[in-house]
Amino acid sequence: MKNNRGIGEVWRRFLVSLKRRPQMIPLVVLTAGFLFYSLNLSYVSDTTARIQGSGMGLAGFATMLFSMLSFMCFLNAFPYRKKPVVPMMALLFAMLAIVIFSDVYYINAIWAAITRPDNPIKVTVETSYIAWAEYYLRIHVGILVTGIVLTLLLPVYSKWLRKIKTSIDVGDNGSMEAIDISGEA
């Protein structure tokens, strides 16, 4: 039967795995951003269909495409227990910049359609998805910026994580006597 020490042991194991792979922190944030955008994509597509602004569909497509490709770059930029691959990190940041640019472009297209002087789009109860799309895109940009900052600060907090003591104290093995294996009794 396994010796289970409870929540403390689970927390210790979590910290040990985090010390070995601190890049999982920004990866989780970027994954959360991708899932957040994907789960709210219906608001974005409904807004594109309603407003039909120039480049809105392309901006939504670019956001999805470069979000998925940025995961591949992230996973290749941080190989297991090796130094980060700088060209892949540069490509990762370029792709995330494209995603943020696409989101900002889409937000500006929404605002241009709502505030244009001739025939503006009215946001009513029936078209509330336009306001929700703009709101969710702002949150998505915030999540991506958080992921970028966490990726850039990875060397700083990985040093802090390494300083956390995760070793287990095993009895008093400092006072053990030498074992005689010579066979003489």
User: For 126-142, what is each residue's pLDDT tens digit?
Assistant: 989 999 999 999 999 99
Q: How many domains does one find in the chain?
A: 1
Number of Cβ atoms within 10 Å of the Cβ of 171: 7
pLDDT digits (tens, 9 = 90+) for 29-44: 999 999 999 999 999 9
**171 in a structural domain:** no
Asked if the structure places residue 14 within a domain, the reply is no
Is residue 87 left, alpha or beta, with left meaning phi > 0 and alpha meaning psi from -120 to 50?
A: alpha
Give residue-wise pLDDT tens across range 77-105.
988 778 889 999 999 999 999 999 999 99
59 within domain boundaries: yes
State pTM to two decimals.
Answer: 0.80
Instruction: Answer yes or no: is 176 within a domain.
Output: no
6: in domain? no
**What is the span of the domain harbouring residue 103?**
23-159
Left, alpha or beta for 81 (phi > 0: left; psi -120 to 50: alpha)?
Answer: left
Residue 43 maps to a domain? yes
Asked if the structure places residue 3 within a domain, the reply is no
Whether 107 and 134 have beta carbons less than 8 Å apart is answered as yes
Predicted local distance difference test score (pLDDT) of residue 56: 93
Is 40 a member of any domain?
yes
